[in-house]
A and B are shown apart, each in its own frame.
Chain A
């Protein structure tokens, strides 16, 4: 089944404890992206990747890092999480970023205490 997977689905952590949210797609998509969803704000792009080893900042990159060492994986790293990063996070992928429909993972609910 073609899909985007994220792990973990739920995470409660404490301020300053480094964490990684994994994202993987099995559709051979070139483009991958991370969004965060907050009430009243819709979804906002954090980082994106046009292809392997090519990443760039979205609208709200502060406090996040990403890497794209393999085509299928695009992990989101929070080196020192803070409470304002409590949010619902979505990974998305598409065949080519600027023309194709993006398909979303199931979401990761992160709470930083």
Chain B
């Protein structure tokens, strides 16, 4: 079974600085997707970034980028120029991709990392 581990329950960063959130996962699948979701105090789950495992190039979305190391099964999120609005809980999630199957479409989530951006 797949598992996702976020080993940092809480982190903090000064405004305008860079922070990296860690995520490791365990799977025997070769084709899958990885996601980072943000959950601000409003509790809404917001997609931050998505990575397809077959792509070697790391995904980027404005100030957010990932370091995807497939062999190491690592998927860290880097937030550059941190802003107060980045304060939230961040979840790493895994979803396997199996063509033509009755795939459940299930997202497997890590435990979350609470990020505090300080002014």
> Chain A residues in contact with chain B, CB under 8 A?
31, 33, 35, 40-45, 48, 50, 56, 58-59, 88, 90, 92, 94, 96-99, 101-104, 106-107, 109
A to B contact number (C-beta, < 8 Å): 67
**Cβ of B47 to closest chain A Cβ, rounded Å:** 6
4 pairs of A and B residues whose beta carbons are closest in the complex: A97-B105, A98-B103, A42-B109, A104-B45
Task: Assess A33 versus B105: contact at CB under 8 Å? Given A41-B111, A42-B110, A98-B98.
Answer: yes
How far, in whole Å, are A33 and B107 apart by their CA atoms in the complex?
Answer: 10
Residue contact B109 to A58, C-beta cutoff 8 Å: no
How far, in whole Å, are A88 and B42 apart by their CA atoms in the complex?
Answer: 12
Would you call B66 an interface residue if the criterion is a C-beta within 8 Å of the partner chain's C-beta atoms? no
Give which listed residue, A40, A58, A92, contacts B104 with CB less than 8 A.
A58
Can you give 28 A-B contacts (C-beta < 8 A)? Answer: A33-B105, A33-B106, A33-B107, A35-B107, A42-B4, A42-B109, A45-B107, A48-B104, A50-B105, A58-B104, A92-B45, A96-B105, A98-B96, A98-B97, A98-B101, A98-B103, A98-B104, A98-B105, A99-B33, A101-B35, A103-B47, A104-B37, A104-B45, A104-B46, A106-B43, A107-B43, A107-B45, A109-B43
Give which listed residue, A44, A92, A97, A107, contacts B103 with CB less than 8 A.
A97
**Cβ of B119 to closest chain A Cβ, rounded Å:** 27
Question: A108 — nearest CB in chain B belongs to which residue?
Answer: B43
Would you call B62 an interface residue if the criterion is a C-beta within 8 Å of the partner chain's C-beta atoms? no
Count B interface residues, CB 8 Å.
Answer: 28
How far, in whole Å, are A109 and B107 apart by their CA atoms in the complex?
Answer: 20
Question: A43 — nearest CB in chain B belongs to which residue?
Answer: B109
**Cβ of A51 to closest chain B Cβ, rounded Å:** 11
**Cβ of A52 to closest chain B Cβ, rounded Å:** 15
Residue contact B91 to A42, C-beta cutoff 8 Å: yes
Residue contact B50 to A48, C-beta cutoff 8 Å: no
Which residues on the B side are within 8 Å of A103 (C-beta)? 47
